Amino acid sequence: MSRNTLITEPLQIPPLETVQGHILHDQKRFPGASGEFSWLLSGITLATKMIQAKIRRAGLTDILGATDDVNPQGEVQQKLDVYANQVILQCLSFRESIGILASEENERPLTLPQRTGQGKYAVIFDPLDGSSNIDVNVSVGTTFSVLRRPETSSNDDVASWLLQPGCKQVAAGYVVYGSSTMLVYSVGNGVHGFTLDPAIGSYILSHPNIRIPEQGKYYSLNEANLADSPAGYTRFVERLRSGGLGQRYSSRYIGSMVADFHRTLLKGGIFLYPPTTEHPDGKLRLLYEANPVAFIAEQAGGLATDGTQRILDLQPTSVHQRTPLIVGSPVEMAEVERCLRATGGTSS
């Protein structure tokens, strides 16, 4: 009897693809791939599983609330901001291919000197985006962007590693800690979503090849700021409210960029954080908020601009620089562009 005849029934277990399996499979397309990149991404998946475990128990342990510190933008740091930051730094600092880590919560990028000569990648991240929502049990997220060291850069030339336009990202994505925990990422060949199965502790492919709908039903922005933004944004929102695009839109705003963007990606529509009087350059940060989201949006068939230019073409000048962010489905993006052009200006 051959060994195969021992299996007499077809298997009843549905096929599962873990994120690790998916990355390894993807890597086979690149001859000579060393596996470093999948090891790097496994640092992100491990860290985000640790973060979600803490978030899931947030009301039960002493982790809610603010610390006495502020971050580089002068915003009060939440205890969970600090925890999430430390976990990501810790998990990624063991990945030999990473030479530089930069975070919203650290004024200066962290160089990993022991990697002199070896570091190939820089990882830039916002460890816990939307953390002001955490005390009231609303979804938050982690965003990340991976850049390759430019061939001509020396190891300690931190600026040339980090200040690359978003079109140079080799991978980017986010984790949304919502009703389930979901990882959405792209290495430049489409967008894939993985839902964490808490029973087995693995991210499982649940949303292969995500495409943003051509048009959606929702727009998403902080409407309290609308009067403080350039007139084109008011005109655009009025068009959406009045049925100017063939239907009346509903408004949805969580105030957690990752959650608002995730809905926009799956359902279509548009997310906007325009310039305001308080934030004339926009509020969101280019390198670790706008760039990853813009990369995912474009890979899924959407668009992302700062009101004038494609986000992924913006040349960064500093690590924590802010930008307006308008991202979404092709139909709404074309309309907002028309409204901004017609009113002649994008600055507040």
Q: Of these, 201, 255, 280, 345, which contacts ligand AHM (CB under 6 A)?
A: 255
Instruction: Provide the greatest CA pair distance for the chain.
Output: 80
Query: What's the CA angle centered on 191, arms 188 and 197, to 5 degrees?
Result: 130
Q: Is 139 in the site for ligand AHM (CB under 6 A)?
A: no
Pairing relation of β-strands 121-129 and 98-103?
parallel
Q: Is 75 in the site for ligand AHM (CB under 6 A)?
A: yes
- For the record, the structure tokens of 280 come out as 């004339």
Q: Which of residues 77-116 bind ligand AHM (CB under 6 A)?
A: 104
**Burial of residue 7, with CB atoms counted within 10 A of its CB: 0-12 exposed, 13-18 middle, 19 or more buried:** exposed
Q: Which stretch binds ligand AHM (CB under 6 A): 15-23, 158-166, 197-205, 252-260?
A: 252-260
Q: Which stretch binds ligand AHM (CB under 6 A): 126-134, 209-217, 230-238, 242-250?
A: 126-134
In the complex, the residues that contact Mg ion under the rule CB under 5 A are 126, 129
Q: Do residues 227 and 207 make contact, with C-beta atoms less than 8 angstroms apart? A: no
Q: How far is the CB of 302 from ligand AHM (least distance, A)?
A: 17
Q: Is 126 in the site for ligand AHM (CB under 6 A)?
A: yes
Letters for 194-233 (x = contact with ligand AHM by CB under 6 A, - = none) are ----------------------------x-----------
In angstroms, rounded to a whole number, what is the distance separating the alpha carbons of residues 134 and 65? Answer: 8
Q: Which stretch binds ligand AHM (CB under 6 A): 29-37, 94-102, 207-215, 254-262?
A: 254-262
- In this structure, what are the phi and psi dihedrals at residue 340, rounded to the nearest 5 degrees? -70, -40
Q: How far is the CB of 253 from ligand AHM (least distance, A)?
A: 7
Handedness of CA 28, 31, 36, 37 (dihedral sign): negative
- Could you tell me which residues are beta bridge partners of residue 251? 219
Q: Is 257 in the site for ligand AHM (CB under 6 A)?
A: yes
Q: Is 256 in the site for ligand AHM (CB under 6 A)?
A: yes
Q: Do residues 45 and 19 make contact, with C-beta atoms less than 8 angstroms apart? A: yes
> Which residues bind to ligand AHM, rule: CB under 6 A?
75, 104, 126, 129-131, 222, 255-257, 273, 283
